[in-house]
Amino acid sequence: MKKQLVSAVAALGLVAVSTASLAATLDDVKKKGFVQCGVSTGLPGFSNPDDKGNWTGLDVDVCRAVAAATLGDASKVKYIPLNAKERFTALQSGEVDMLSRNTTWTLTRDGSLGLNFAGVNYYDGQGFMVSKELGVKSAKELDGAAVCIQAGTTTELNLADYFRELGMKYQPVVFDTSDQTVQGFEAGRCDVLTSDQSQLYALRIKLSKPDSAMVLPEVISKEPLGPVVRQGDDQWFNIVKWSMFALVTAEELGVTTSNVDQMKSSTNPNVQRLLGTEAGQGKNLGLDDTWAYNIVKQVGNYGEMFERNVGSGSALGISRGLNALWTKGGLQYAPPIR
């Protein structure tokens, strides 16, 4: 009886704690000493553990940037792999401090889930991958095809829209993780694998014979991917948002990991504000003035991050395209840091 009473009181305590967890994420993170970051279950180029268990990728680098800005150490991140179905619940319930998991920004997600999208770290679009044997040259020839998709993604909806609009039939074969989706595609269960284009390239190198498959030219949707935080904590929202802007601004100003220390003595006031030589920018976010310096020093700028993970320095070899700076015809643009 006594034991039961104790456990009942403990349960009540838990509920009471969850009421209080709306409190500032920044304080939480500082107290814990690390950022808890929700990532994918393994997607080369975006978030993928290497053979030593170290996570790398474009999405991972966003987590690292936030850790560098808040804790001054980019390695203070704890990665929580989540599949597409788990991700929002994990963030809502406070299991992760932020989600950086190739997640598409949509109105429903932004408006009804109690979450905020803190920007776009990769502008993507949905595409199709087919086996070369099929002899298909365009997505418009896919009438009647069986299509492998990952469950719980915007992809499922775009696919339905696309085939409906063109009056074509299809059979959706829905898998839980991207690994299973690839397995289903390799086993010949479906003719087509559909996903965001960047993922298609990433999944293609996971095939046993990458050359046997090709990505079709059609892009059927807009998929702005970016980090997500809980609604109701504007300070944390700002930190994540401006960590991304710092990455882009650094590229714009030509500040890189290797020259960041020299740049500290730059006379350009924009650089001075970014790197904290001119004081005052950090306190607006509740951080040190060196927040952006730490990001660039430890993670690099957006361009370095891109080339290292998905661009020319990686197996994916994706060109900048929409993800080039606005000055070079792309969409990556940061408001002024001042």
Token pair, residue 333, equals 């643009």
- Burial of 53: CB neighbours in 10 Å, binned 0-12, 13-18, 19+: exposed
Which residue number, 94 or 282, has a Cβ lying nearer to another protein?
Answer: 94
Q: Least distance from C-beta 25 to another protein, angstroms? A: 13
- When asked if residue 170 is in the footprint of another protein (CB under 8 A), the reply is yes
Pair type for strands 170-175 and 223-225? unpaired
Which residues within the stretch 11-30 sit at the binding site for another protein (CB under 8 A)? 11-12, 15, 18-19, 22
In the block, residue with structure tokens 């998991």: 101
Cα angle value 108/120/327 (rounded, 5°): 140
Q: Least distance from C-beta 162 to another protein, angstroms? A: 11
Residue 195 host element (H or E): strand 192-196
Q: How far apart are CA 39 and CA 67, in angstroms?
A: 14
Q: Least distance from C-beta 78 to another protein, angstroms? A: 22
- When asked if residue 172 is in the footprint of another protein (CB under 8 A), the reply is yes
Taking a C-beta distance cutoff of 8 angstroms, is the pair 123, 147 a contact? no
- When asked if residue 337 is in the footprint of another protein (CB under 8 A), the reply is no
Q: Least distance from C-beta 123 to another protein, angstroms? A: 22
Residue among 189, 206, 264, 320 that touches another protein (CB under 8 A): 189
Token pair, residue 211, equals 């050359």
Residue among 10, 53, 112, 336 that touches another protein (CB under 8 A): 112
Which residue number, 4 or 267, has a Cβ lying nearer to another protein?
Answer: 4
- When asked if residue 8 is in the footprint of another protein (CB under 8 A), the reply is yes
Residue among 13, 210, 217, 232 that touches another protein (CB under 8 A): 232
Which residue number, 180 or 290, has a Cβ lying nearer to another protein?
Answer: 180
Residue among 6, 24, 157, 279 that touches another protein (CB under 8 A): 157
Work out the angle between the directed axes of helices 234-253 and 302-309 (0-180°, nearest 10).
80
Which residues within the stretch 31-90 sit at the binding site for another protein (CB under 8 A)? 84-85, 88-89
Taking a C-beta distance cutoff of 8 angstroms, is the pair 61, 77 a contact? no
Sheet harboring 192-196: ordered strands across?
170-175, 145-150, 192-196, 126-131, 213-215
Helix (H, G, I), strand (E, B) or coil at 205: coil
Residues that bind another protein (CB under 8 A): 8, 11-12, 15, 18-19, 22, 84-85, 88-89, 92, 108-109, 112-114, 134, 142-146, 151-153, 156-157, 159-161, 163-164, 170-176, 180, 183-184, 187-189, 191, 230-232
